[in-house]
Amino acid sequence: MKKADDPAISSTSLPRYLEHLSGDGKAIGVLTSGGDAQGMNAAVRAVVRMGIYVGAKVFFIYEGYQGMVDGGSNIVEATWESVSSILQVGGTIIGSARCQVFRSREGRLKAACNLVRLGITNLCVIGGDGSLTGANIFRKEWNGLLEELAKNGEIDKDAVQKYSYLNVVGMVGSIDNDFCGTDMTIGTDSALHRIIEVVDAIMTTAQSHQRTFVLEVMGRHCGYLALVSALACGADWVFLPESPPEEGWEENMCLKLSENRARKKRLNIIIVAEGAIDIQNKPITSEKIKELVVKQLGFDTRVTILGHVQRGGTPSAFDRILASRMGVEAVLALLEATPETPACVVSLRGNHAVRLPLMECVQMTQDVQKAMDERRFKEAVQLRGRSFEGNLKIYKRLAIKLPDDKITKSNCNVAVINVGAPAAGMNAAVRSAVRVGIADGHRMLAVYDGFDGFAKGNVKEIGWGDVGGWTGQGGSILGTKRTLPGKNLEKIAEQIRSHSINALLIIGGFEAYLGLLELAAAREKHEAFCVPMVMVPATVSNNVPGSDFSIGADTALNTITDTCDRIKQSASGTKRRVFIIETMGGYCGYLANMGGLASGADAAYIFEEPFDIRDLQSNVEHLTEKMKTTIQRGLILRNESCNVNYTTDFIYQLYSEEGKGVFDCRKNVLGHMQQGGAPSPFDRNFGTKISARAMAWISDKLKGSPGAGKKFVSDDSICVLGISKRDLLFQPVAELREKTDFEHRIPKEQWWLKLRPLMKILAKYEASYDVSDAGKLESLRQQQGTSHGEPAAI
């Protein structure tokens, strides 16, 4: 590894590594402020451990700004072990409080005095827009505050020079996802988990009694939670502060509810954000909606207010990984900051961590509220960002069916098929495709039991009502098989002809990708395959070339994380125990690596990073050292195919022998529980959105070719749709062939391998971390304007 002073390293040509950044002599203060959110602890842990790793001192500031003002025992140096076992804890262990005193200059003077005495000139603030604005005011006044303190004799003159500027980096912790500039704030995904758990539970009781349920979720000024949970559970109606219902909504809603009942739907779900308003800015309450439904329709109606349940509980895998990535990025931003650097906020764009100017984001967040106050609702929705706008459009398309005579028929038949192993979220994708297809005027056909069923003619028309209630169902309702089309090309071509299929949407994993390649190759021989075909990746292994994410991987990751949490808890009672856990994924180490990051594992063995007996030995030594501290337990993850000889049994026996007298071992193979279960909110939402986009692509292709006669032979008519960094891309399978390792069924390059050093650093290993992607402060406006593909809002 070249060191920073090596003349061969130029800042532009070669990757920059973490080793080139030093935190020696720096002191970082970390605080959580405002409302708490799940995942804040993961962010605190990442800041503390990354800070210590680079040689800085890190201080906990307890009780937010109040603790900064009060000083004393509220500001304490953190150690590596002080953030152990907090990854799975909701809320914030360092406390949060709303602080009036800090709003006054006297309060900020006291705070500055407390920080300077400990040499803290770097602040990492985790909170909402109010907390971040406060930090920025503090940063601007810093120099003046120090001069005033020196004048009053509270600090000496040298301190004013030595600590002349304050660096501030923010991370947004808020369950409402109400901050402009980031696709997701820390805590949002976990809050959605709580809401969806409740909705799934309520659906079963509502169905038994034919009830209507009005669910009130949090979101005083932002309807994100209401909108996404409505999308994820297929709610009948949703009320948001940003997009009030049109005049006469009362009749429209009652009409929609009674129509749904007439279609034999036994329940209605209405979701209301707590800040919901009508066009006149008057509140719409859940009680008001209940009274309306009872009076107009006489339906048995109940109200459930979720309240603080949404803030509580353990953080989801997504929030832990997001917060860990942001925490590390925040420390890097503080190490690189100069007196000229404006306060920045660490954000997520697509699948990319970026830095944005703090005040630009705060300004835009306040502009949304202003637009709502002035009843410019269309603008408010646009200012919320492309993710919010896209969600709203898709919700409207999927929730409300136009009468048949209002839909322009395309005279095209589009088939939907599931291929490969089942993955949670497949059904949400099928529902979305069917409804968008019908809204676009196509006749939708469902193919049952994969390519096998296709060859046998298991093809039936599927209607709008047939896919009702599918979003929350795990597995694959259409049935799915791993069989490839190769053996039955003749029969499948015959079925495409006899059913006059004009386009095909394939939802599946690596088999679906291989199947698509086989169909592409067979186009020369069989004219029937010359139709637009698109694949949406759905597999727990997340190993499809052309996409950073697959439907089903998030649900599997949450299963692994939950299990690891329970296993770690069982170890905390027995002490000195190491668990070895085997995850699925074939040769793809995504689940083992990300599961390790989300559950705070000591090591994760994966195929992509070859390891030998020396690595195993060093892991055992590392755990032996760890057992001497207060953290007396270990967690090791192993991908099922990471090494043919170093099996789970072998590793278990090696650890048991080498750890004799120091720790004992247990092993656990998670198996097929990773494929089952109800889909997570992320997978429901992702499946719904990506599948709707795939159908829009099919409609565009078919629009350009009136009638059934046109042959599609070009490479770009047979694609994989996926997320790549910040963009949604349609990539021809012909081009993806070069990017695929067919022997091991994985893409040749995988984005998540860049996060591997992160897991090692947070587990106290030396690791070489490439930080070339980090470091550029981007403008928010530029963010919204640039992108060669479509924005991939997660």
Active-site annotation holds for 176: yes
d(CA 458, CA 495): 9
SS3 220: coil
Using CA atoms, how far residue 455 sits from 44, 427, 478, 487, 536, in Å, is: 55, 22, 15, 10, 21
Q: Backbone phi, then psi, for 6, in 5-degree steps?
A: -65, 125
Nearest to 667 by CA among 647, 645, 679, 649: 649
DSSP 585-610: -TT--HHHHHHHHHHT-SEEE-TTS-
d(CA 185, CA 126): 10
By the 8 A CB rule, do 243 and 381 touch?
yes
Q: Degrees (nearest 5) of the Cα angle 331, 336, 340?
A: 120
Burial class (CB in 10 A: 0-12, 13-18, 19+), 33: buried
Residue with token string 């410019």: 376
- Per-residue DSSP letter, 337: -
- The tokens for 424 are 């949670």
- The tokens for 97 are 């409080």
Amino acid at 589: G
Q: Which of 36, 176, 189, 602 is catalytic?
A: 176
Neighbours of 653 (CB within 10 A): 13
Helix/strand number for the chain, H first, E second: 25, 25
CA 674 vs. chain centroid, Å, equals 18
Q: Which residues face 77 on adjacent strands?
A: 59
- Beta strands (DSSP E) in 292-362 are 301-305, 344-349, 352-357
d(CA 270, CA 283): 16
Q: Which residues face 242 on adjacent strands?
A: none
Helices (H), 343-475: 358-373, 377-383, 386-399, 426-439, 450-456
d(CA 287, CA 302): 9
By the 8 A CB rule, do 612 and 644 touch?
no
Nearest to 170 by CA among 314, 26, 341: 341
By the 8 A CB rule, do 189 and 177 touch?
no
Q: Which distant-in-sequence residues (6+ apart) come within 8 Å of 208 by Cβ?
A: none
Nearest to 167 by CA among 126, 123, 220, 113: 123
Pairing of strands 352-357, 344-349: antiparallel
- Beta strands (DSSP E) in 486-573 are 503-508, 533-537
Neighbours of 97 (CB within 10 A): 14
d(CA 404, CA 413): 16
Nearest to 38 by CA among 98, 84, 88: 88
d(CA 669, CA 663): 20
Amino acid at 178: D
- The tokens for 460 are 């039936």
Q: Backbone phi, then psi, for 507, in 5-degree steps?
A: -115, 115
Q: Which residues face 437 on adjacent strands?
A: none
Nearest to 120 by CA among 179, 211, 47: 47
